[in-house]
Amino acid sequence: MRPVVRTTSLFIDGSWSAAADGRERIVTNPFDASDLATVAEASTADVDRAVRSARAAFDVGAWAHAPVARRAAVLTATADALQEHREELARLETLDTGKTLAESRFDVDDSTSVLRYYAALATTEAGRTVDTGRPDAVSRVVHEPVGVCALITPWNYPLLQITWKLAPALAAGNTVVAKPSEVTPLTTVRLFELLQAGLDEAGAPAGTANLVTGGGPAGAALAEHPGVDLVSFTGGLATGRSVMRAAAETVKKVALELGGKNPNIVFADTDLDTAVDYALTAAFLHSGQVCSAGSRLLLQRGRHAEFVAELARRADRIRLGDGLAKGTECGPLVSAEHRAKVERHLAGALAEGAVLRAGGVRPDQAELQAGHFLRPTVLTECHPGMAVVREEVFGPVLTVELFDEEDEAVALANDTPYGLAGAVWTNDAGRAERVAQRLRLGTVWINDYHPYVPQAEWGGFKQSGTGRELGPSGLREYQETKHVWRTLNPAPQYWFAD
């Protein structure tokens, strides 16, 4: 048994504390359901204290108007610290989420790159001057921080998601209150410990970056709080709607990164071996608990029977296990409740006529019985009328639909309320570009699945969200735009006759 760590996890006004009412929550390891740590369960009083601290730190102006190089230095120092503690962070992420160590290492590296990207971008950011049409007046447009930002993140990519928000928010000169998912808060707590050193070194006011751990009520308190100017939320659609409603009361700016039901379109001219390989990664990476998971496979009729047979054969061979162990390809689902939800989706799909081609069951190995495992599952005979095709399952469940023509593939792919990401596989370059243009998605991969870079925007069309993370737009989310007009030698203009 690993020791249970008692974490003092609220970082408010520059110091660490427990919840005011002493409440705690136990965080468990999804691999074996053992207890990992206890964290503070923030109440609305703790959230209020964090927002007030962020408000005071923002309003004093020392951070918002600090030389941008100083803010960038905090991000760079945090990036360096992430790399210095890479293995420790990767292990912690794996223990908390169940994902493999290789995936966790990728997340630490991606978080590092995002911090470095925004450190560099912020220092090259400049406003612009605008022609006034008058020799006696100058006009400039500048970008300023929005104010106090609430950063609310989900459980599937804890370190990565908070970094995608924290880096541009701080680079732009905002102050923040972060709230990670109550299910997987541990790497966010560690990130704040590492961030603290950089903030202290830069002389940032206490309250520049605050952290509250807790569940939905703490998130709701942030979305409602009149002291918050912007809410950046990543999570499920239903929660996103409630955040938007809560934020409406004080007209906060809102950025939402919500779910997806992402099409992976494969034309028959594609190399079968490569497309099968990527279809597996698209659907089953992190056991399908990925917002951009390619959970809808759209196959062109032709070699589809051969394709499905190979897909099912290889899905059945995926090695489940402890994310920390060498050779594990897929970890467990994050919790017993989440697995039960995925299994309900599965039962519904079978009742609606889907045919099980792989998985659909819990693994039978003795060492996996305590964890929340489910075998990678392939369902055929699927169509958009089925709930399993329309709703985000967020687990290792891949549905297969068939099409004949390009137009039909595009229509099927767009027949969803979501619009996050997807892919098209074909050797016909013209067709690839045509399809990519017509897909109503924030990210389209051609002959690939899942890659992204900090320089390119990430976000959703339709009900997958509003706003963008990463890229220059990811910085703009955290900025207000101001026009400053200056008349050089003011004199009466006598618009109204004296």
Rounded to whole angstroms, how far apart are CA atoms 59 and 100? 43
Q: How far is the CB of 85 from ligand NAD (least distance, A)?
A: 23
Rounded to whole angstroms, how far apart are CA atoms 75 and 117? 9
146 binds ligand NAD (CB under 6 A): no
Rounded to whole angstroms, how far apart are CA atoms 420 and 151? 20
418 binds ligand NAD (CB under 6 A): no
Q: Transcribe 448-492 into DSSP letters.
A: --S---TTS-B--SGGGEES-BSHHHHHHTTEEEEEEEEESS---
378 Cβ neighbours under 8 A, 6+ residues apart:
308, 311, 312, 315, 356, 357, 358, 359, 398, 400
Q: Which stretch binds ligand NAD (CB under 6 A): 69-77, 216-224, 404-412, 479-487?
A: 216-224
Q: How far is the CB of 183 from ligand NAD (least distance, A)?
A: 6
471 binds ligand NAD (CB under 6 A): no
Q: Which stretch binds ligand NAD (CB under 6 A): 51-59, 236-244, 269-277, 361-369?
A: 236-244
Cβ closest to ligand NAD, residue 31 vs residue 155: 155
Q: What residues between 287 and 316 interact with ligand NAD by CB under 6 A?
A: 291
Q: How far is the CB of 240 from ligand NAD (least distance, A)?
A: 7
Q: Which stretch binds ligand NAD (CB under 6 A): 99-107, 133-141, 232-240, 443-451?
A: 232-240
Choosing from 149, 291, 330, 382, which is the catalytic residue?
Answer: 291
Rounded to whole angstroms, how far apart are CA atoms 42 and 10? 8
Tokens for 212?
């509250």
Pairing of strands 35-40, 24-28: antiparallel
Choosing from 257, 343, 401, 477, which is the catalytic residue?
Answer: 257
Among 30, 98, 198, 219, binds ligand NAD (CB under 6 A): 219
207 binds ligand NAD (CB under 6 A): no
243 binds ligand NAD (CB under 6 A): yes
215 binds ligand NAD (CB under 6 A): yes
Dihedral pair phi/psi, residue 172, rounded to 5°: -80, -10
| 291 tagged catalytic | yes
Rounded to whole angstroms, how far apart are CA atoms 470 and 453? 8
User: Residue 335: CA atoms inside 13 Å, Cβ hemisphere, count?
Assistant: 13
Cβ closest to ligand NAD, residue 161 vs residue 300: 161
Q: How far is the CB of 461 from ligand NAD (least distance, A)?
A: 11
Rounded to whole angstroms, how far apart are CA atoms 2 and 322? 14
Number of residues this chain uses to bind ligand NAD (CB under 6 A):
31
182 binds ligand NAD (CB under 6 A): yes
Inter-residue contact 150 to 166 (CB < 8 Å) = no
| 257 tagged catalytic | yes
Cβ closest to ligand NAD, residue 300 vs residue 466: 466
Amino acid at 85: H
Q: How far is the CB of 244 from ligand NAD (least distance, A)?
A: 10
* 267: nearest Cα among 423, 399, 386, 389: 423
Active site residues: 257, 291
Q: Contact positions toward ligand NAD, by CB under 6 A?
A: 152-157, 161, 179, 181-182, 215-216, 219-220, 223, 234-236, 239, 242-243, 257-260, 291, 392, 394, 420, 460, 465
